[in-house]
């Protein structure tokens, strides 16, 4: 979603960038026009105002509750045995004969693993619908304190492998892809704007049983966050051009630049984060042999 707010004051902030080159930065109108010609503006990626309902909860998210998490895992995985839990300064962990849980507290990294070799199980005759897997994934996200309005973006894919013997042993061709598990990716977003770095990846065996969960989902205080921008679309484009020139992006490179917005978290107290709305540019780079590479540049707006 994109909104134009012409009545707002346009302020361009020049930030010192650690990666600024030693060369003088050309911020001339001509350089800005040339770089602007590289921009590909996809309005679906640019969102200066999140779509927050009137009932949006601005309060800080709940702190991590180990018991709630274990209950959630038991609900989807049918844990056998008794949890043995322990805690260190860095992490909290729990184990059963089949599962291990580790939560790295400072970063809110979550690791749940089923130790059984589920990936060697034969392919079942029928696989569950994706909706069944999504439901289990949402149950686990709720168990770590995620809000339903943060779970909008997901992606599902088969994880596959191909195999072959070492070339010195056989000239047999590699095998066809063999589906081994199913992955459900949840990217955290709020009001339609993604939150940089926060995502959880769930693994299910092909029979639909929960097997693994890894990723990061931080405790965010939305009330302390900068959730929207004061810029209009035109102002956003102008700020983006200048910020990219300051960062040393070549205005004459032939590769396009895609613009978008995202929330970037930062820690405001131990284990508590706020987010700032930032512009993000997806910049194509040519390597020494003309090969492409993508760089994601984040900047204030």
Partner 1 sequence: MEIGVKRNGIFTISFFAAVLSWPTQTNAICRTFYESDGSYTENICEEDTSNEIGIGTTAPGAKLTVQTNASGTAVQLLSGSTGYHTDLSIGRASTEGQLGIAGVGDLVLRLNDSTKKLLLQAGTGTAPLTVTNSNVGIGTTSPAYKLDVNGAGNFTGNLTVDTNVLYVDTANNNVGIGTAPSASYRLHVDGVPFIGGNVTILGDLNMGGAPMVVWEQYHRVGINENSPGAKLEVNGNVYVSTPGNGIVWKHADEARLMVNSNGILGTQCSGCSGDSQLEVALFVVDEFGAAGECSGGYIYYDEDAYEDGFEALNYDQIRVNTDPGVDARDFVDFSGGGQDNNDPYGADFADVFLLATHGSHDCTGGYSEFTMGDDGDCKVRTSEMEFGNGGSNEEAKVGLLVACDSVHQCVWENGGYDDMFHGGFNILNGYHGTSYDNHDNDIGDYIEIAEEGGVGDDWVDLLTCDGGPFNIHDQQCATSMVFGGANYTAAFIYHNEGFKNFYDQGGHTYTDTWFDCGCNPDGGVALYDHKCE
Of residues 92 through 111, those in contact with partner 1 by CB under 8 A are 97-98, 100, 102, 104, 107, 109, 111
Pairing, β 210-216 against β 193-204: antiparallel
Tell me the closest approach of the beta carbon of residue 12 to partner 1, in angstroms: 21
| 57's tokens | 């909860």
Query: What's the length of the chain?
Result: 301
Tell me the closest approach of the beta carbon of residue 75 to partner 1, in angstroms: 22
Closest CA to 240 of 29, 32, 77, 28: 32
Q: Report helix, strand or coil for 219.
A: coil
Binding segment (CB under 8 A) for partner 1, from list 26-34, 134-142, 233-241, 246-254: 246-254
- Of these, 117, 122, 148, 270, which contacts partner 1 (CB under 8 A)? 117
Q: Report helix, strand or coil for 175.
A: coil
- Of these, 215, 231, 277, 301, which contacts partner 1 (CB under 8 A)? 215
Tell me the closest approach of the beta carbon of residue 172 to partner 1, in angstroms: 11
Q: Specify the residue, 165 or 223, whose C-beta has the smaller distance to partner 1.
A: 165
Of residues 120 through 179, those in contact with partner 1 by CB under 8 A are 120, 153, 155, 157-169, 173-174, 177-179
**Do residues 284 and 255 lie in contact, with contact meaning Cβ atoms separated by under 8 Å?**
yes
Of residues 64 through 93, those in contact with partner 1 by CB under 8 A are 90
Binding segment (CB under 8 A) for partner 1, from list 72-80, 137-145, 242-250, 267-275: 242-250
Q: Specify the residue, 3 or 223, whose C-beta has the smaller distance to partner 1.
A: 3
Closest CA to 279 of 186, 193, 184: 193
Q: Specify the residue, 55 or 171, whose C-beta has the smaller distance to partner 1.
A: 171
**Do residues 48 and 277 lie in contact, with contact meaning Cβ atoms separated by under 8 Å?**
yes
How far does the chain reach from its first CA to its final CA, in angstroms? 16
DSSP secondary structure code for residue 81 in this structure: S
Q: Specify the residue, 16 or 55, whose C-beta has the smaller distance to partner 1.
A: 16
287 lies in the site for partner 1, by CB under 8 A: yes
232 lies in the site for partner 1, by CB under 8 A: no
Pairing, β 39-41 against β 257-269: parallel
183 lies in the site for partner 1, by CB under 8 A: yes
If binding means CB under 8 A, how many residues of this protein chain bind partner 1?
A: 78
DSSP secondary structure code for residue 120 in this structure: G
CA distance 98 to 118: 11
């Amino acid at each position: 979603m994109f909104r134009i707010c012409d009545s707002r004051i346009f302020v361009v902030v020049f930030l010192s960038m650690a990666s600024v080159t030693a060369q003088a930065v050309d911020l001339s109108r001509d350089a800005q026009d040339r770089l602007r010609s590289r921009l590909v503006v996809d309005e679906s990626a640019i969102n200066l105002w999140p779509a927050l309902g009137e009932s949006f909860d601005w309060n800080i998210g709940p702190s991590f509750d180990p018991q709630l998490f274990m209950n959630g895992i038991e609900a989807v995985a049918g844990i056998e045995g008794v949890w043995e839990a322990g805690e260190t300064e860095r992490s909290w962990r729990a184990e059963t004969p089949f599962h291990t849980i580790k939560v790295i507290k400072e970063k809110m990294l979550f690791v749940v693993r089923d130790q059984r070799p589920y990936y060697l199980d034969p392919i079942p005759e029928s696989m569950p619908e994706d909706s069944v897997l999504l439901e289990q994934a949402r149950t686990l996200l709720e168990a770590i304190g995620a809000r339903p309005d943060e779970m909008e973006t997901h992606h599902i894919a088969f994880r596959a492998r191909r195999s072959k013997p070492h070339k010195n042993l056989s000239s047999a061709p590699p095998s066809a892809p063999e589906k081994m598990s199913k992955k459900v990716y949840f990217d955290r977003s709020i009001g339609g704007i993604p939150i940089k770095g926060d995502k959880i990846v769930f693994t299910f065996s092909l029979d639909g049983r929960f097997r693994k969960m890894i990723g990061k989902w931080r405790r965010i205080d939305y009330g302390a966050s900068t959730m929207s921008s004061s810029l209009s679309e035109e102002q956003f484009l102008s700020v983006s051009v200048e910020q990219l020139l300051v960062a040393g992006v070549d205005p004459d490179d032939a590769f396009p630049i895609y613009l978008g917005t995202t929330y970037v978290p930062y820690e405001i107290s131990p284990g508590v984060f706020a987010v700032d709305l930032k512009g993000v540019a997806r910049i194509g780079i040519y390597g020494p042999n003309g090969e492409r590479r993508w760089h994601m540049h984040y900047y204030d707006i």
